[in-house]
Every structure is written in structure tokens, then in C-alpha cells.
């Protein structure tokens, strides 16, 4: 990013939508790509604080020096640029990352300056804006002097793509705002902070897609944190819920989340989470389950019995095939946990190798992502992507196994009941897709 001639209107914006998100408790603030420093000046007038800036434009730097405590002339893409300042309790990336050759690397490097309690504010142009999408459908991609397709923009982002990046690097999203409005999101403004260091590195990533099932999602999450004894991280991929699920996730500092702008379906949501998996194992969980004590400990034990086991699934009350246990509905308390405990203690049946494990709750080896790949997104909203993945797993030389000792309660098909797509028609359509793919008569 070469130094450019200062253009007043471009660098001299106050940005009240950013100002309003900077904590009033912040005492040391770093504005990366500070322009003339108008934002920093307003912050200093509003609260007692030190505001430093980093800028590459020579004309803007001269103005910024009048408004900020310190201004560093630096190209953020230059590795040698990171020699300014100490720790800060707020970092601002206001429309700067899209101008960089390596915005992801710069972001990770600069956020090392953040105090453990600190806040990060990021503003990004939304390449998925309806106007851009409409132009693309016409074959148009027209750069301009300003706006989403500013001719100086080198990188492009969506709400989904950047929230995936943040979750992959342990940054907790506490807010995402559309600017200037939800109806016309030209920009996304993220408020994030670093996740607290875990007592032990996670061994397993738990992936949970959600869509408008807040009452069940709340129960599922509560059971996970109450009954999972192996170090784990929980990553929720929300498919644009409008029932309060997103707000609930943002408030829970134990959870990482990816936020989509539409319902992408189960397979695509899970595949998004795969980009964030760095643990040797991962599990895929429906949002309408209740896990039981020692569930993951026992399933991992079964996984480790044979190095060729790639997929392990539990027993349940709402599932097809040999994983089914016929039983009455359970309340969400001690009666269920007691049933699962007695079932595990009394189970004498060895793990069963089977060609199909239902993905309402399933443990997998992460090496499958390299050997087998991701879920097939031809199955749209979902159903039969698990049948397909199990067959592909076995083709790659791995085993699919049922852990007969673990019982997981499943309310069943709650997400599909919230979807506008007819469940039976979806099943029929995906069954035909599955048979065609596998040449089944």
C-alpha cells in the first residue's frame, strides 16, 4: 500500500457508528488507518484516554498529528511497521483491512497488542451487498473512487467469511452491526475480544449448527458444559436465526460462533466450521439433543480401540437404524441422566461396526477432512449427507462404529420444523440424489 495524496472527504470522516462502539472505559486506544484522526479527536473529547494512530497517507498524517497523541507513518503490510506502541485496551480497524495485501496476518499481528480484557472494533465493506450481487448476476464488477468497490480495495469480505476467520483464531464476537441499516448492509461492524485462555488445550471441537431453536439450543449447550469431561471448544454456526439465538450466543463467552446471513442448511454450516477445526477430533451435534454424563469420554474411548475407526455414534431415542433405543420421552433432568448412567453401566454389547451413523451426534477423526473431504452440499438443507459421508469414509479405509453404551436424548427434527422446506419432500428429494450419486437402483 503506497502513500497516496490526502483526499479530505475520504480520510476525514468522524465515523459515529465506530465512535459509539468504542468502550467509554478504554484508556489506551490504537486506531489503525486513522486518517486525519477525527475519530480519535472525538474519543479524546468524550473520555479521558490516549489515542495513537497508524497511517500511510502523508497528507492525512500531518492532520492526524494535530488530533492524536502520537501518529506513526507506516505501511501495515510492511512487517517492519510493527514497532510502535505498547498494550492497548481498544484497537480500531475502521475500513483498513480491505486495503491490505495480507489483512488476516496484519490483524493477527496487531491484535497481539491487545490487553486480555480489551475490545476490537472492525468495520468492513460487505461484498455480498444486494447491489454488488445484482451487478455480478449481470456480469458486472465495476470499481469506483469510493464505496464497496473502491479501486484501492485489495480484499473483499462478507459477514460470514470474517466471522469464520475470527472464530478460527479464538476471537469472540459480541456484536455485528449492519451499517447504514439491516436492509442495506454496505458495511459490517464487528465488536470482538479475545477468548480467555483455556485451562487445557481442547482435544475436540464440538460443532453445532443452529436455526431458530433457541429453547432447545439453550438446553443442549447447558448439557454440554455440564456433562463433558474432556477438554473441548464449542463452535456454533447460526443459520440466520431470528428468535434470539444469536443474541444468546454473543453473550456466552464460552462459545465461538459463525453468523450467517441466511439459512445455508446443515451440510454447508458444518463445512464452514471445518475451516476452524485444529483439534485431532471433532464432533457434530444437532441443537435439539441432551448429552449425558461421560458421553464424549466413552465415545473417544471407543474411537481409540481401533486406529481404523473414523466415525463413532451413540444410541438414542429418536434416530433410525440400529442406534435406536425405544423408550418413553424423558424430562430434561436427573431421570434422563440416571437412565443414561444405568444404560452405560449395564451395557455388555461391544461397539458395533455399521455402514451408517446418523449425524445428530457423531464423533469423527479430523484426519478424515483430508482423506475424505467435507460434507456434500448437494443435499441442501440436510438429510442423507451423513449416509453419503459414511460411505465415503469406508471407501477411504475407515470404519463407522456405534457406541452401544452411550445414550443421547434427541428431541428430533426441531430445526426442520422451523424451516420453510417440507421435511418429507426434502427427504424424498435427497434420497433420489443419494441413490443417483451412488448408482443405487
The CATH number given to whatever domain includes residue 168 is: 3.40.50.150
Residue 101 and residue 231 in one domain: no
Distance between CA atoms of residues 197 and 441, nearest Å: 53
Distance between CA atoms of residues 345 and 342, nearest Å: 5
Is the residue at 295 inside a domain? yes
Residues 146-166, mean pLDDT to the nearest whole number: 96
pTM of the model: 0.93
Residue 255 and residue 368 in one domain: yes
Instruction: Write down which residue in 145, 171, 194 finishes a domain.
Output: 194
Residue 362 and residue 269 in one domain: yes
Distance between CA atoms of residues 261 and 158, nearest Å: 9
pLDDT of residue 415: 61
E-assigned strand segments in 110-160: 114-125
Instruction: Write down which residue in 176, 194, 212 finishes a domain.
Output: 194
Q: What is the pLDDT of residues 7-54, one digit of tens each?
A: 445 566 778 999 999 999 999 999 999 999 999 999 999 999 999 999
- How many other C-beta atoms can be found within 10 angstroms of the C-beta atom of residue 416? 20
Place of cell 443442549: 220
Work out the pLDDT band at 328, boundaries 50, 70, 90: confident
Residue 140 and residue 209 in one domain: no
Residue 179 in this model has a pLDDT that exceeds 50: yes
Range with the poorest average pLDDT among 154-158, 161-165, 236-240, 329-333: 329-333
Q: What is the pLDDT of residues 364-386, one digit of tens each?
A: 999 999 999 999 999 999 999 99
pLDDT of residue 3: 41
pLDDT of residue 374: 98
pLDDT of residue 8: 42
Cα of first residue to Cα of last residue in the chain, in angstroms, is: 59
Residues 412-417, mean pLDDT to the nearest whole number: 64
Residue 129 and residue 219 in one domain: no
Is the residue at 77 inside a domain? yes
Residue 252 in this model has a pLDDT that exceeds 60: yes
pLDDT of residue 370: 97
User: Longest Cα pair distance anywhere in the chain, in angstroms?
Assistant: 77
Residue 89 in this model has a pLDDT that exceeds 70: yes
Residues 262-289, mean pLDDT to the nearest whole number: 97
The helix/strand/coil state of 284 is strand
Residue 60 and residue 177 in one domain: yes
Work out the pLDDT band at 71, boundaries 50, 70, 90: very high
Residue 121 and residue 64 in one domain: yes
Q: What is the pLDDT of residues 415-441, one digit of tens each?
A: 655 555 677 888 999 999 999 999 998
Residue 226: which CATH number? Answer: 3.90.550.10
Residues 46-63, mean pLDDT to the nearest whole number: 95
What cell numbers appear for 328 in the block?
418413553
Q: In the chain, pLDDT over 70 holds for what percent of residues? A: 93
pLDDT of residue 441: 80
Instruction: Write down which residue in 194, 215, 247 finishes a domain.
Output: 194
Give the residue numbers spanning the domain of 75: 8-194
Size of the chain in residues: 441
Listed in sequence order, the DSSP H helices in 138-290 are: 159-168, 214-227, 245-251, 266-274
Residue 308 in this model has a pLDDT that exceeds 80: yes
Mean pLDDT of the chain: 93
Residue 294 and residue 361 in one domain: yes
pLDDT of residue 7: 42
Q: What is the pLDDT of residues 92-103, one digit of tens each?
A: 999 999 999 999
Count of domains observed in the chain:
2
Residue 182 and residue 212 in one domain: no
33 neighbors 15 (Cβ within 8 angstroms): no
Residue 70 and residue 209 in one domain: no
132 neighbors 165 (Cβ within 8 angstroms): no
Which string of b and e fits 230-256 if b means at least 16 CB within 10 Å? eebbbbbbbbbbeeebbebbbeeeebb
Amino acid at each position: 500500500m503506497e502513500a497516496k495524496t490526502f483526499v479530505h472527504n475520504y480520510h476525514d470522516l468522524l465515523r459515529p457508528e465506530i465512535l459509539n462502539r468504542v468502550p467509554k472505559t478504554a484508556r489506551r486506544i490504537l486506531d489503525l488507518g486513522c486518517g486525519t484522526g477525527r475519530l480519535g479527536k472525538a474519543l479524546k473529547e468524550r473520555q479521558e484516554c490516549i489515542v495513537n494512530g497508524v497511517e500511510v497517507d502523508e497528507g492525512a498524517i500531518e492532520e492526524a498529528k494535530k488530533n492524536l497523541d502520537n501518529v506513526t507513518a507506516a505501511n501495515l503490510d510492511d512487517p517492519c511497521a510493527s514497532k510502535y506502541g505498547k498494550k492497548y485496551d481498544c484497537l480500531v480497524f475502521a475500513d483498513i483491512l480491505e486495503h491490505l495485501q495480507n489483512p488476516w496476518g496484519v490483524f493477527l499481528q496487531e491484535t497481539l497488542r491487545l490487553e486480555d480484557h480489551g475490545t476490537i472494533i472492525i468495520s468492513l465493506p460487505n461484498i455480498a451487498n444486494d447491489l454488488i450481487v445484482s451487478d455480478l448476476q449481470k456480469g458486472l464488477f465495476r470499481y469506483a473512487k469510493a464505496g464497496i468497490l473502491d479501486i484501492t480495495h485489495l480484499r473483499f469480505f462478507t459477514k460470514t467469511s470474517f466471522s469464520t476467520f475470527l472464530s478460527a483464531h479464538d476471537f469472540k464476537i459480541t456484536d455485528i452491526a449492519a451499517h447504514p441499516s439491516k436492509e442495506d448492509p454496505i458495511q459490517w461492524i464487528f465488536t470482538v475480544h479475545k477468548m480467555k485462555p483455556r485451562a487445557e488445550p481442547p482435544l475436540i471441537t464440538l460443532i453445532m449448527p443452529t436455526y431458530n431453536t433457541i429453547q432447545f439450543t439453550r438446553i443442549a449447550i447447558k448439557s454440554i458444559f455440564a456433562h463433558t469431561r474432556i477438554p473441548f471448544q464449542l463452535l456454533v454456526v447460526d443459520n440466520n436465526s431470528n428468535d434470539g439465538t444469536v443474541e444468546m450466543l454473543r453473550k456466552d463467552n464460552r462459545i465461538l460462533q459463525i453468523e450467517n446471513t441466511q439459512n445455508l442448511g446443515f451440510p454447508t454450516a458444518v463445512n464452514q466450521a471445518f475451516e476452524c477445526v485444529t483439534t485431532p477430533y471433532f464432533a457434530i451435534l444437532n441443537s435439539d439433543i441432551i448429552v449425558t454424563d461421560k458421553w464424549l469420554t466413552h465415545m473417544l474411548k471407543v474411537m481409540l480401540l481401533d486406529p481404523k475407526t473414523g466415525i463413532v455414534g451413540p444410541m438414542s431415542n429418536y434416530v433410525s437404524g440400529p442406534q435406536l433405543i425405544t423408550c418413553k420421552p424423558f424430562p430434561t433432568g436427573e431421570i434422563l441422566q440416571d437412565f443414561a448412567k444405568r444404560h452405560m453401566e449395564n451395557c455388555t454389547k461391544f461397539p458395533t461396526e455399521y455402514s451408517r451413523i446418523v449425524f445428530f451426534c457423531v464423533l469423527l477423526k479430523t484426519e478424515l477432512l483430508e482423506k475424505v473431504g467435507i460434507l456434500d452440499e448437494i443435499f441442501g438443507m440436510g438429510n442423507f449427507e451423513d449416509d453419503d459421508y459414511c460411505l465415503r469414509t469406508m471407501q477411504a479405509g475407515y470404519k463407522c462404529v456405534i457406541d452401544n453404551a452411550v445414550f443421547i436424548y434427541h428431541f428430533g427434527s426441531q430445526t426442520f420444523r422451523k424451516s420453510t422446506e417440507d421435511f418429507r419432500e426434502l427427504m424424498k428429494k435427497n434420497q433420489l440424489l443419494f441413490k443417483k450419486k451412488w448408482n443405487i437402483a
